[in-house]
Structure 1
């Protein structure tokens, strides 16, 4: 499995194929836009969508925690999707997971969905803070353009990048890093994506799920979002 190391504000981050980032010096795993309970919220509105997305998100999160020396997980906003995400079945799954990971430090930087959904239940033992959350010259936020002193690492946009070849194209989740801020892809299942048009001074790294690749600079090879 191929990762990409990137140096930001004198700190080295690992961009992981599983749509997350790891800060080895701090044993810190960065997760953006996990949107727990989104499917439950849709089903509460009568929309027939698949179940099991919360368990899927947690299984993928567990795999990253076990694969790296993770001591702290920092969620960059949108932990719960909506008020309906407080459904008993969703919270029961989260509570069982938390009981098995009681030693793990968890911090949530509030995002726009957190404002409407409300904070996670107190018994999940998650520290909840407003953006920016400052650490060693990095400012962890939900919104990429949040006002902060350090280099901003954020989520919110669910960025994807379109690669084209031989008359065909594919949209892949991506990381985007510019001079003042970086954006992580959405970690959550069933969250969609926004096709980005990178600026000349931005670097893009796409993930296939197995590897992270740097996109060569130059004219972007993608079209409108579909």
Structure 2
């Protein structure tokens, strides 16, 4: 079941109502929970440490994007579906200071990170951030929060890792848009972080695609 709206689409997954947000996140209204995949704090810093000229300010962009969501949706907890930190460069003083300043603005917000493959290499974030770190699958009710989509789990899987995008074809090139990929047993969320790229996906039989563009999210026809 789905209901399309401008800023979000309402879907039913394992009997639970979730919203797919235009800003590349999920929202579970019954739990007042935001679900975010692949924010990759420190990715740009890691690339610059290797001598690559990549944009600055991605940590600030990520934190401002989180603030925008928190201003729009009643939220008591954020669950990050892995790859919270990109690499050890995310522990740089400037990055940690920005994250601590953001955390100080939201002291009562519960933060949970499901460890992903990048988190394994980067290490856990600073303890002062007050983040609960868990391994996949992290079970909440009928939903299993994971990083890897193929993780064996007892409930319906919400995962990241893939950074899915969908290529909308047109006569002149088309568009590559971040998307949600929903199947019978799992849903893959788009990467939330700035400067994270994307992997083109094609829906298998029984899968649905919801693409995000500007401030809108919408379901694609099955034969698109």
TM range (shorter): over 0.9
Classify the secondary structure of the residue corresponding to 2:180.
strand
Please name the residue that 2:89 is paired with: 84
Q: Secondary structure at the match of 2:169?
A: strand
Specify the alignment match of 2:52 in structure 1: 47
State the Cα distance separating 1:168 from its structure 2 match.
3.0
In 2, Cα distance between equivalents of 1:190 and 1:99: 25
1:165 aligns with 2:179: no
| Matching of residue 56 in structure 1 with residue 78 in structure 2 | no
Q: Aligned match of 2:78 in 73, 80, 89?
A: 73
Q: Which residue is equivalent to 2:27?
A: 22
Query: In structure 2, how many angstroms separate the alpha carbons of the residues matched to 1:168 and 1:87?
Result: 39
- Following superposition, which runs of at least 4 residues in structure 1 exceed 6 angstroms of deviation? none
Structure 1 residue aligned with 2:43:
38
CA distance in 2 between counterparts of 1:66 and 1:161 reads 28
Q: Any unmatched runs of 5+ in structure 1?
A: 221-226
Match of 1:156 among 161, 166, 180: 161
1:44-82 C-alpha deviation (Å, 9 max, x unpaired): 111111110000000010010111001100000000100
Mapped to 2, the partners of 1:135 and 1:38 lie a distance apart of 29
User: Are the counterparts in 2 of residues 19 and 209 from structure 1 also a CA contact under 8 Å?
Assistant: no
CA–CA separation in structure 1 for the residues paired with 2:66 and 2:123: 22
> Any gaps of 5 or more consecutive residues in structure 2?
1-5
**Equivalent residue runs for 1:1-226 within 5 Å:** 1-218=6-223, 220=224
| CA-to-aligned-CA distance 1:159-217 (integer Å, 9 cap, x gap) | 00001123431000000011111000000000000000110110000000311110100
Give the Cα–Cα distance (whole angstroms) in 1 for the partners of residues 205 and 152 of structure 2.
Answer: 22
Shift of residue 100 of structure 1? 1.0
Q: 3-state SS of the aligned residue for 1:84? A: helix
CA distance in 1, matches of 2:147, 2:52: 27
Match for residue 224 of structure 1? Answer: none
